[in-house]
Amino acid sequence: MMQDQIAWRPDAAMIEASNLRAFMRFAGVADYGELARRADADPAWFHEVLLKHVDFRFYRRYETVLDDSQGAAWPRWCVGGTTNVVLNALDRWRGTPTYDRTALDWIGERGERRSFSYRELDREVCRCAEGLRALGLGRGDVIATYLPNVPEAAVAMLAIPKIGAIAMPLFSGFGAEAIASRVGIAGARALVATDGALRRGRPADTKAIVDQAVARAPSIRHVIVVRHTGTPVAWSKGRDHWWHELLEGRAGDSLTEEMQADAPFLLVFTSGTAGKPKGVVHTHCGFPMKCIIDLGLMQDYKPDDVLLWMSDMGWVVGPLLVYGVPVMGGRYILVEGAPNYPDADRMWRLCAEHKVSYLGIAPTTVRSFMAQDSDPGSTHDFGALRIVISSGEPWTEDAWRWLFERVCKRRVPILNFSGGTEMIGILMTTVIEPIKPCGFNAAVPGIGADVVDENGATVAPGTVGELVMRGRTIGLTRGLWNDAARYLETYWSTWPGIWHHGDFASRDAEGHWRIYGRSDDTLKIAGKRTGPAEIEALLMASGKFAEAAAIGVPDAVKGSALVCVAAPKPGVAGDERLAEEVIEAVVRGLGVPFRPRAVTFVSELPKTRNLKIMRRVIRAAWLGLDPGDLSSLVNPDSVEQIRQRAPRQA
């Protein structure tokens, strides 16, 4: 397949100027192979050298960089040291040239624009911190943010850890029940929201949603409201506070709390395959350092880059921007709204207008542009673009090549990373090695990435198996919020001392990796196992679908039968003839045993806030089962459409 061929190679100048090369010189290693081997064998060495290289700041230096005496699941980092993520994101830039450089550019859905230097951002964060303290909030308190991408979202998320509290960003599209459940699990004491929000030009009464949620969340004592749309709001005296009034008259200089380096500062919820949402816990030293490793070291983000990644604050990309970019002294663009509204090519237009050099994008977003027949490279100038990074789900080759050829012009590398909310990246693509379509050319140093069989043994090159971590990484979650048993059961119970990530992967003889999707989405038909991405790629290759999903359903003979659910592009008829084309494509690509039992067409597939297609939800809807937690879906109405399409006998 074309995926086995090299699509892009770095030149000598890019390799020599890369952050990885600078770090390898500092660490005294000859090449990346030596770095990876040494880091996997001795993660403490790797992290300590990197802490020195990036000059990560502490109030009191740590005594031990890594203590794993409590077992692989519970490593402690920078033990005995004290720091704060805000010390490294803002305070360290005072008195330096960076302090007067742009930190954040904001673009509203209606075209409004605001810009903040590090000095201005620091001032607003200090004022917000003092406002929070005036409400009696401080160390250890969980403070939720239910905010669209407005500047106050970044300010609040920095002010919360500044006072020693724990920031809990929520997806801005959540309903009252989803907010209440997460606030209840976390025991949050305060919540920051807007009076209203815009969603593709339509107003949303976010304050009313908050009021409904807080009525079921007795731990909430304060609701802080940012005036954004001017929507009239109900008011609870004593509980509700206007943001602008809370900050009025506050000092622009404020104490940053000195915290234990491994104290929590960030709580991000992610949905499991069943049951209540999982609260992932990140620390003051762990999360910012992992941002530096993944974006800075592995994917070559530089302070001069202009970064655009349109994502919600409720997914880990939001915190990655808010905390990770300032820690590296960089600049990012925060955009309210969708990539293709109010104009179809909005994201590409912003890239060109703002001379974006570092673009983040999800494969599903690319497929949405493909579905609307966008050709951005012919109408926009991407001359400033240096790097594109991608995460969220596996690529299909047609989408990868569309981006590489039409936007990147075969000049700009697409750097994939795959991991999760629990640790950000495991597999990465760097600028110092050749790139194969849809793949990864490296694993994060120290993480001990491997592909194993059902017994936990390393598989041969080219063999598909489970992606695991055998090593240690500073960015790994400190567990799940108040649920140690679930943490151990979910990630550590399959093989002793090995992190079970839940993705199928392979690694070829040249050291290139591929991800095939969640292992709990695996299809095993007539004794043959495959990932859904392989089947979905056959459908997408036709050019007739915006998105597609392959699921397995019970079959008395085969054990499991294949069902394909797809959303045709505008103007493509979802009829019997198209269904026959799908069946023929699957049989031609994978053989008669994989002949679909059914092919059905819908307007859209259920997706999460970070645009992952939820195959477990599709399967449950098709079979008439309980789909579990749907609060993270951006389009819950799509589930009912699938239920209606499913045959009664299924």
**H or E stretch including 465?**
strand 465-469
> What's the maximum distance between 2 C-alpha atoms anywhere in the chain?
73
- CATH of 92-257, picked from 3.40.50.10490, 3.40.50.300, 3.40.50.12780, 3.30.450.20, is 3.40.50.12780
pLDDT value for 1: 44
Q: Distance between CA 124 and CA 143 in Å, rounded? A: 18
Domain boundaries, the chain: 2-84+262-517, 92-257, 523-645
pLDDT value for 593: 76
**Is there a shared CATH topology between the 2-84+262-517 domain and the 92-257 domain?**
yes
Helical residues (DSSP H) of 494-554, grouped into ranges: 532-540
> What token pair was written down for 474?
């500073």
pLDDT value for 528: 61
pLDDT value for 555: 75
> What token pair was written down for 205?
């009464």
pLDDT value for 650: 37
pLDDT value for 81: 98
Q: Distance between CA 73 and CA 301 in Å, rounded? A: 30
Helical residues (DSSP H) of 191-334, grouped into ranges: 206-214, 243-247, 286-291, 317-319, 325-327
pLDDT value for 273: 47
Architecture of domain 2-84+262-517: 3-Layer(aba) Sandwich (3.40)
For 554-619, the DSSP string reads: EETTTEEEEEEEEEEPTT---SHHHHHHHHHHHHHHH-GGG--SEEEE-S---BBTT--B-HHHHH
The count of other CB atoms within 10 Å of the CB of residue 282 is 28
Fold of 523-645: GMP Synthetase; Chain A, domain 3 (3.30.300)
- Torsion sign over Cα 184, 186, 191, 192: negative
C-alpha dist (Å) from residue 290 to 67, 242, 394:
17, 35, 22
The count of other CB atoms within 10 Å of the CB of residue 44 is 18
Chain centroid to CA 557: how far?
A: 39
Dihedral of CA atoms 44, 48, 50, 55 in degrees, nearest 10, equals 160
Q: Scanning the structure block, which residue is given the tokens 């349109």?
A: 310
Instruction: Tell me how far apart the terminal alpha carbons of the chain are, to the nearest angstrom.
Output: 35
Residue type, 589: G
pTM: 0.86
Q: Half-sphere exposure of 435 toward its Cβ, with a 13 Å CA cutoff?
A: 29
Q: Are 101 and 328 in contact (CB under 8 A)?
A: no
Range 337-344, long-range pairs (CB < 8 A, 24+ positions): 337/108, 337/109, 337/149, 337/198, 337/199, 337/200, 338/200, 338/310, 339/310, 339/365, 339/368, 339/369, 340/368, 340/369, 340/372, 341/109, 341/200, 341/201, 342/109, 342/200, 342/201, 344/372, 344/374
pLDDT value for 470: 97
The count of other CB atoms within 10 Å of the CB of residue 464 is 19
Closest CA to 44 of 60, 24, 20, 63: 63
Residue type, 610: N
Adjacent-strand bridge partners of 424: 420
What residues of the chain score a pLDDT lower than 70?
1-3, 271-275, 522, 524, 526-531, 556-559, 609-610, 648-650
Q: Distance between CA 460 and CA 448 in Å, rounded? A: 16
